[in-house]
């Protein structure tokens, strides 16, 4: 399976102005993320419920000789939405085209990609919640009837041209399923949420990556990295590389528990996997807003971060780890969040928090 990509998520730093041409001409298969991406269900660790349903769906589609239903994957970034799409493509023996909604700015961007698809191929659209209205309207008949409805002429003389498209499968990925319009959401046959990974699963990801990169790592070293990876394999893989730099330069090259923990301490990633921004966020709410509630815009402005980064990158894990709480009036630091930072929670605050719960 060749991954033909036109976005820069694979770490290439290319901002593509013309996704159609780039999608046709560039094959990216040698980046770090790609080189360690699993290509089949056996080497894809975690998300076991998703894997089990997908295996059945794929087998049924193969037996029927029909393309797969359109699929929507949602969940926080880094949990393997692109990766599982790649696994599906390789298991079906078809090509995958990878793009993202912000690259489909003009109608001709999406039309060009749809018209260049071949039967059975997979079109992967990342950040699909950011698709504009025009692109969405083009996708509806494409998804439903495999046609492109083009209007020519103006008002009274306008004619609709129906151009048949090959049968393809759309895989959409989003961090914000709630922001998808319902007509678009309803056109996906399968909608699945990706879950954060357990420490054990992340330790397996770490060991697998270390093996591919020919790094020496102990069980305890892998677990130490896993513990600080915020339930996210993309972070685990990034930390393997960072820690291996330390192991080579400052130690004897072997990643054991001590090397992993000392390196991650230097990188200011704490035992919960929180980095300086996460801790700054919790500290800000505690010190400036008495623990909250405080609005997301205020938090973002005070940290000089954009709201999207806070919402998509920092918050999901802080919420899942129970350090932060989302309330109708804004964000609040939980008693666990206070404890994690070693700050005692004012007792009135504890009471209010418990009342709220
Ligand atoms: N690398 C990134 N995600 C992975 C996963 N789920 N399994 C194995 N390796 C991975």
Q: Are residues 98 and 238 in the same domain?
A: no
The CA distance from 206 to 219, in Å, is 10
Beta-bridge partner residues of 163: 148
Q: Are residues 129 and 61 in the same domain?
A: yes
Q: Are residues 258 and 322 in the same domain?
A: no
Q: Whose CA is nearest to atom 2 of ligand 1?
A: 233
Ligand 1 mutation target, pool 10, 11, 36, 87, most atoms within 8 A of CB:
36
Domain containing residue 47: CATH number: 3.40.50.300
Q: Are residues 281 and 239 in the same domain?
A: no
Predicted local distance difference test score (pLDDT) of residue 26: 31
Q: Are residues 155 and 227 in the same domain?
A: no
Q: Are residues 178 and 260 in the same domain?
A: no
Q: First vs last Cα of the chain: how many Å apart?
A: 49
pLDDT in tens, 154-178: 878 888 889 999 999 999 999 999 9
For residue 271, is it within any domain?
Answer: no
Predicted local distance difference test score (pLDDT) of residue 150: 85
For residue 59, is it within any domain?
Answer: yes
Residues 116 and 24 sit within 8 Å (Cβ to Cβ): yes
Domain containing residue 241: CATH number: 1.10.8.60
Q: Are residues 311 and 283 in the same domain?
A: yes
Residues 229 and 46 sit within 8 Å (Cβ to Cβ): no
Domain containing residue 331: CATH number: 1.10.10.10
* Structural domains of the chain, count: 3
Residues 90 and 39 sit within 8 Å (Cβ to Cβ): yes
Predicted local distance difference test score (pLDDT) of residue 75: 96
For residue 60, is it within any domain?
Answer: yes
For residue 79, give the ligand 1 atom closest to its CA: 3
For residue 209, give the ligand 1 atom closest to its CA: 9
Q: Residue ranges of the chain with pLDDT lower than 50?
A: 2, 6-29
Predicted local distance difference test score (pLDDT) of residue 31: 76
Cα torsion angle, 302, 303, 304, 306, sign: negative
Ligand 1 pocket check for 205: Cβ under 6 Å:
yes
Q: Which domain holds residue 16?
A: 2-193
Q: Whose CA is nearest to atom 9 of ligand 1?
A: 205
Ligand 1 mutation target, pool 208, 222, 234, 239, most atoms within 8 A of CB:
208
Ligand 1 pocket check for 208: Cβ under 6 Å:
yes
Single out the residue of 153, 157, 140, 13 nearest to residue 70, CA to CA: 140
* d(CA 44, ligand 1 centre) in Å: 5
Ligand 1 pocket check for 78: Cβ under 6 Å:
no
The CA distance from 297 to 309, in Å, is 11
**Tally of residues, the chain:** 357
């Amino acid at each position: 399976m060749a991954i033909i990509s036109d976005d820069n998520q694979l770490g290439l730093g290319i901002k593509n102005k013309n996704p159609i041409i780039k999608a046709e001409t560039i094959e990216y298969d040698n980046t770090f993320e790609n080189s360690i991406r699993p290509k089949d269900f056996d080497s894809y660790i975690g998300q076991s419920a998703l894997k089990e349903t997908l295996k059945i769906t794929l087998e049924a589609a193969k037996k029927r000789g029909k393309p797969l239903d359109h699929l929507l994957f949602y969940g926080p970034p880094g949990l393997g939405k692109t990766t599982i799409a790649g696994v599906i493509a390789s298991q079906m023996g078809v090509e995958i085209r990878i793009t993202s909604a912000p690259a489909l700015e003009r109608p001709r961007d999406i039309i060009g990609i749809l018209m260049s698809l071949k039967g059975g191929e997979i079109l992967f659209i990342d950040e699909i919640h950011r698709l504009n209205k025009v692109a969405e309207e083009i996708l509806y008949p494409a998804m439903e009837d495999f046609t492109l409805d083009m209007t020519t002429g103006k008002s009274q003389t306008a004619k609709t041209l129906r151009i048949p498209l090959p049968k393809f499968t759309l895989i959409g990925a989003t961090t914000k399923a709630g922001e998808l319009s319902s007509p678009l959401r309803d056109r996906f046959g399968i909608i699945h949420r990706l879950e954060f990974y357990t420490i054990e699963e992340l330790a397996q990801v770490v060991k697998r990556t270390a093996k591919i990169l020919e790094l020496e790592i102990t069980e305890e070293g892998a677990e130490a990295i896993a513990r600080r990876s915020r339930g996210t394999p993309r972070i685990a893989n990034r930390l393997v590389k960072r820690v291996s730099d330390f192991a080579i330069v400052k130690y004897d090259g072997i990643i054991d528990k001590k090397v992993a923990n000392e390196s991650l301490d230097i990188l200011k990633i704490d035992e919960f996997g929180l980095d300086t921004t996460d801790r700054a966020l919790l500290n800000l709410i505690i010190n400036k807003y008495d623990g909250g509630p405080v609005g997301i815009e205020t938090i973002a402005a005070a940290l000089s971060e954009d709201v999207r980064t806070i919402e998509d990158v920092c918050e999901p894990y802080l919420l899942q780890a129970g350090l932060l709480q989302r309330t109708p009036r804004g964000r609040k630091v939980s008693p666990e969040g206070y404890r994690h930072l070693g700050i005692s929670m004012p007792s009135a605050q504890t009471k209010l928090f418990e009342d709220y719960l």
